[in-house]
Amino acid sequence: MPVPAPSSSTEQTPRAAAVDTPAAARRRTFAIISHPDAGKTTLTEKILLHAGAVSEAGSVRARRQARSTVSDWMEIERRRGISISSTVLRFESDGWLFNLVDAPGHADFSEDTYRTLWAVDAALMVVDGTRGLEQQTLKLFEVCRRRHLPIVTFINKCDRPGIEPLALLDEIEQRIGLPPIPVTWPVGTDGQLDAIVDLSTEAVAEVDATAHGATIGEQRLTPVAAWQPAPGREKAWQDALEEIELVRHGTPSPSPADVHAGRLTPVFFGSALTNQGINSLLDGLTRYMPSPQPLTSADGREQPLDGPFSAQVFKVQANLDPRHRDRVAFLRVHSGSFARGMSVYNSRTGRRVSLAHAHEMFGQERETISEAGPGDVVGVVNASGVLLGDTLAEDPATRFPPIPAFLPEHFAYLRNLDGKRYKRFHAGLQQLDEEGVIRLLEPVAVDGERVVGVVGPLQLEVTAERMATEFDCPVRVDMAPYELARWISDDTVPSLPTRRGVLTVRDGAGRHLVLFSNRFAMERLQQDQPDLQLLTEPPAS
Ligand code: G4P
């Protein structure tokens, strides 16, 4: 269906190509959530390898390492062996189009991770089968649950002796309260993974080992009834058959509708390292993850997938590639189709934004994009005046609900160590505030230094590193004497006292918060003003 021109448009812009709903139906947009070291990087590589998007695993990691040696702001990632910036991998396989958005997984929380989960339709939860569920996975899972994101589970490292599969399923059910329904089952849990049984196709999958698992070895599929274990491995096979019998008893195979509704999680077993169980998992991603669905804009209108183009900015990052020194806005497309060179409205400002420099992202690599539809994530380079959460759409009236703002939990003062670099200092802080790396909090009604608020302390470390390397402006981070914050509505600001341990501030978007030195200070204010609403979420504007 051709997309109608916006009625208020007088400029000539290229028309969007037609999008039909099947284009959305073949897309899957997801993030991987896991605890550090569970194998997310390895699994990502193997998904790309099995999808045919790379010919040899190791290339993504090699690129990441190569990049972090040339990129200075990535230094902190290299040093701490963590991934901080979300990257996007867009790839095709068998007619399916995947957008894999990397949700940084490190022990500290960062808002970037939350926002990444805002942009996807489902999550793949990777669990280290030798360790079970770990803290970071549980936290990320909670965010997914709040977002009502369907979750597919992959139990990794089954090539090593670990926790028994039945015990792992029990643990998932007990700790996250989501019934896990196995779709595949491992044969050999003693550190020798013989094969993976796909319970939906009744086939046993074997893969020959290759050097470092960098390429996929010879693969064989045998019907369960005909499969013979290797000599000496009969017991492992017998155990697997008994366990399969047990788990099948009383548990029907998972239905995609139940997964989409968050009633259960389908579970796949395997080993990313040895390429086992990856093909079934890839099938599972298409079978159990939902395709992009129409989103409702802030005024309650549903945006049909095949309607005019609309997208929301979920991440803004400057200097992603130090060779370019530019600013990339990442958009999640919600409806319509993107055409090269089109220009759209930023509904917050009413201004037109050219999408001439939109790129398909493959990690840090960029390719000029020619076509994108609902579910796709594209990076727009140097989209001026575009901020986190902005809606970019052909229809200027389309505006999506804001991306949630999280309460800062750590507070600091950033001190400029070189007085001559006053301008850079402010430009740097401004940029990091716009990207959502920090929240700059300006005291209201009293003179005072700006406080920097963050959700995870790592964000402060990243800030100091980026200020020094990108803005050439070294800073010192001094912790500020506040421990917690609450949002308040604008009309309550005048009633707030100026007293020790209580500070009213305004963030970059003009919203107000109160910072407290400790819980007692908050309780005292609440006692003094019982009607004052101290909120954990920003009031609707
Ligand atoms: P992450 O991104 O979640 O942090 O994990 P990553 O993939 O980097 O994997 C962490 C470690 O676990 C790596 O070992 C990796 O090789 C190993 N690993 C990943 N998947 C599997 C698996 O299925 N089986 C086994 N046995 N190991 C797995 P490393 O020694 O830290 O790094 P490397 O020297 O192997 O690169």
Testing ligand 1's pocket by substitution, the residue of 33, 35, 37 carrying the most ligand atoms inside 8 A of its CB is: 37
Per the listing, tokens 């009625």 go with 7
- Structural tokens at position 541: 């504007």
Q: Using DSSP, state whether 262 is helix, strand or coil.
A: coil
Question: With 70 as the cut, is the pLDDT of residue 15 above it?
Answer: no
Specify the pTM: 0.84
State the pLDDT at residue 5: 32
Q: Which amino acid is at 107?
A: A
Side-chain-facing half-sphere of 345: CA atoms under 13 Å: 20
pLDDT band at 71 (very low <50, low <70, confident <90, very high): very low
Range name among 64-73, 367-376, 380-389 with the lowest pLDDT average: 64-73
For 52-59, the CB contacts below 8 A with 24+ separation are 52/93, 53/89, 53/91, 53/92, 53/93, 55/215, 56/214, 56/215, 57/213, 57/214, 57/215, 58/212, 58/214
| Binding site membership of 83 for ligand 1 (Cβ less than 6 Å) | no
- Three-state SS letters, 503-540: EEEECCCCCEEEEECCHHHHHHHHHHCCCCCCECCCCC
Burial of residue 192, with CB atoms counted within 10 A of its CB: 0-12 exposed, 13-18 middle, 19 or more buried? middle
How far separated are the first and last CA of the chain, in Å rounded?
A: 36
Question: With 80 as the cut, is the pLDDT of residue 421 above it?
Answer: yes
- What is the position in ligand 1's atom list of the atom closest to the CA of 272? 23
pLDDT band at 80 (very low <50, low <70, confident <90, very high): very low
Average pLDDT of the segment spanning 176-194? 95
How far apart, in whole angstroms, are the C-alpha atoms of residue 497 and residue 216? 66
Compute the distance from residue 67 Cα to the ligand 1 centre, in Å: 20
Q: Which residues are registered as beta bridge partners of 353? A: 344
Testing ligand 1's pocket by substitution, the residue of 50, 83, 134, 273 carrying the most ligand atoms inside 8 A of its CB is: 273
Where would I find the H helices in 322-435? 422-435
Contacts of 238 (CB under 8 A, 6+ apart): none
pLDDT digits (tens, 9 = 90+) for 277-317: 999 999 999 999 999 999 998 889 888 999 999 999 998 87
pLDDT band at 90 (very low <50, low <70, confident <90, very high): confident
| Binding site membership of 104 for ligand 1 (Cβ less than 6 Å) | no
How far apart, in whole angstroms, are the C-alpha atoms of residue 191 and residue 249? 26
Element (H, E) at 196: strand 195-198
Average pLDDT of the segment spanning 362-378? 73
Contacts of 1 (CB under 8 A, 6+ apart): 18, 19, 20, 306
How far apart, in whole angstroms, are the C-alpha atoms of residue 357 and residue 312? 16
User: What is the number of other CB atoms lying within 10 angstroms of the CB of residue 93?
Assistant: 17
State the pLDDT at residue 419: 81
Q: Using DSSP, state whether 373 is helix, strand or coil.
A: coil
Q: What is the mean pLDDT of the chain?
A: 85
Query: For residues 34 and 127, is the Cβ–Cβ distance under 8 A?
Result: yes
- What is the position in ligand 1's atom list of the atom closest to the CA of 34? 3
Average pLDDT of the segment spanning 202-213? 89
Element (H, E) at 362: strand 358-362
- What is the position in ligand 1's atom list of the atom closest to the CA of 126? 3
Per the listing, tokens 């643990």 go with 171
Q: Which residues are registered as beta bridge partners of 393? A: 310, 345
Average pLDDT of the segment spanning 371-384? 84
How far apart, in whole angstroms, are the C-alpha atoms of residue 325 and residue 433? 17
Q: Which of 186, 76, 183 is nearest to 129 (CA)?
A: 186
How far apart, in whole angstroms, are the C-alpha atoms of residue 493 and residue 488? 7
More confident residue, 132 or 212: 132
- Three-state SS letters, 479-505: ECCCCEEEEECHHHHHHCCCECCEEEE
Q: Using DSSP, state whether 82 is helix, strand or coil.
A: coil
Question: With 70 as the cut, is the pLDDT of residue 16 above it?
Answer: no
pLDDT digits (tens, 9 = 90+) for 327-364: 788 899 999 998 877 889 999 999 998 887 666 555 55
